Structure 1
Amino acid sequence: MKVKICGLTDVETAVYAAEVGADAIGFVFAPSRRQISKENAKKIIEELPARVEKVGVFVNEKPAVIEEIAAACGLTMIQLHGEESNGSCQVHALPVVKAVGIGKVEDIVQAEQYEVPYLLVDSPKGQKYYGGNGATFDWQLLQSKALENHRVILAGGLTADNVAKAIATVQPYMVDVSSGVETDGKKDFVKIKQFIQVVKGVEIR
């Protein structure tokens, strides 16, 4: 089972996350308390091993801006976390992760229209920010072969305490955590390691 740690803003934490087993690191370029500049993201990415995916998170950003940041930083994947259309997902050279909020069955039907290799399923957007709000959604909605034509990345309120149940229910390709490995709004090394250990210990049928 793969793990993405999102919203990292410093070299030390990112390198540590990679060392203890993170498969992907997310960098938030959209307005957020975890927002990072392309200069700082580049410094971090230069220190990460090649095996780790470097994912840039954008919300309703112009494709040209995304491409410029991706090239400048050395991103390997692009995550679109706003109201981007299926067409706007097709213009990027890098693999695209389209994030969708899941609150009802109709949201799954709409998500299936995206022709992208990865769908990140999250709780519906919060009052202020898209994603990173620490709220779960009804994982049962993703049973019965929902989104079977996509690699599903499960996000939304995951912690070391609930991620095993989430994986057993959804059986995703990857799990994504941000606030669930934080203490007082900052990434916590102990929680990062604990989360990854739980995920890597989960057996998928």
Structure 2
Amino acid sequence: MAVEAATGNSEQNKVTSGVVARVKICGITCLEDALLAIDAGADALGFVFYAPSPRYVSPDVAAEIIRELPPFVTTVALFVDAPVAEIQSVITLTQIDLLQFHGKETADYCEQFSRPYFKALRMSADLDVSATAAEYSSARAILLDAYRKGVPGGTGESFDWQRIPSDLSKPLILAGGLDESNIYRAITEVSPFAVDVSGGVERIKGRKSPEKINTFMSEVARANYS
């Protein structure tokens, strides 16, 4: 009984100190994959509204999926330099919870919608992470992703985590090439507020693998409570 109590206190301390990494599974294209992710313990689901992406989902389909979701799951809409009217339309149709901007959007642009947002930064060699993150003072978090020229995200590549500033002004969402083989190390070395995975839990582009999702989430739990 004492051991159980001690373990519970340790886990509670991790929760209250913000060490426990939350999980967003992105690139959801169907209800089956959404429910798989939720059943495995995902905190948030990402829907990609960027037509060139192999994980693109139409607003109509996303709205149908979201209507079937249980409560207490955050839904996130990903955009890349989208027209204002398009974003407004998606918000109205889907009633999405949170916006993720993955292009060259300015803070003023991101702030004009009726939803909280976070900003993705791609870790190019010349990026001043701290200075750029500070420009988005209204963001709920900053997502850091790998950089590949001409590709706004979903590269399946990681970046040098040593480049992440220790004094980042916003909660950190870590993305870029995360999968079952490196997520334990990512969480234990970086201690992000959340991690964002898409290709790392897929069986084919745009469809998730139950086995990969479950293994990934098991590794997250192992890192969170080790």
Selected match of 1:71 from 85, 92, 107: 92
Amino acid at match of 1:71: T
CA contact (8 A) 1:158 1:180 kept: yes
CA contact (8 A) 1:99 1:120 kept: yes
CA distance in 2, matches of 1:21, 1:126: 33
Task: Determine if the alignment matches structure 1 residue 100 to structure 2 residue 124.
Answer: no
Residue 132 of structure 2 corresponds to which residue in structure 1? 110
CA distance in 1, matches of 2:105, 2:148: 14
CA distance in 2, matches of 1:30, 1:24: 19
Q: Which ranges of structure 1 fall in alignment gaps of 5 or more residues?
A: none
Residue 176 of structure 1 corresponds to which residue in structure 2? 196
Amino acid at match of 1:55: V
CA distance in 1, matches of 2:57, 2:133: 28
What TM-score, normalized to structure 2? 0.84
CA distance in 1, matches of 2:223, 2:90: 35
CA distance in 2, matches of 1:188, 1:132: 16
Q: How far 1:60 moved relative to its partner?
A: 0.3
Aligned residue-pair number: 202
SS of 1:183's equivalent in the other structure is: strand
Indicate the RMSD between aligned Cα atoms, in angstroms: 1.7
Residue 25 of structure 2 corresponds to which residue in structure 1? 5
Task: Determine if the alignment matches structure 1 residue 200 to structure 2 residue 203.
Answer: no
Q: Cα 1:101–1:107, aligned 2, differ >3 Å: closer, same or farther?
A: farther
Residue 13 of structure 2 corresponds to which residue in structure 1? none
CA distance in 1, matches of 2:181, 2:70: 28
Q: How far 1:64 moved relative to its partner?
A: 2.7
Selected match of 1:121 from 116, 123, 144: 144
1:36-90 alpha-carbon deviations (Å, 9 max, x no partner): 1111001111111221110000000122321220121120000011000111111
Selected match of 2:66 from 27, 32, 45: 45
What TM-score, normalized to structure 1? 0.92
Residue 182 of structure 2 corresponds to which residue in structure 1? 162
Residue 26 of structure 1 corresponds to which residue in structure 2? 46
Q: Which has the higher helix share?
A: 2
Residue 171 of structure 2 corresponds to which residue in structure 1? 151
Amino acid at match of 2:215: Q
Q: Once the two structures are aligned, what percentage of the paired residues are identical? A: 38
CA contact (8 A) 2:133 2:170 kept: no
Residue 16 of structure 1 corresponds to which residue in structure 2? 36
Selected match of 2:161 from 115, 131, 139: 139
CA distance in 2, matches of 1:143, 1:85: 21
SS of 1:9's equivalent in the other structure is: coil
CA contact (8 A) 1:126 1:133 kept: no
CA distance in 2, matches of 1:77, 1:23: 13
Amino acid at match of 2:144: V
Q: Which ranges of structure 2 fall in alignment gaps of 5 or more residues?
A: 1-20
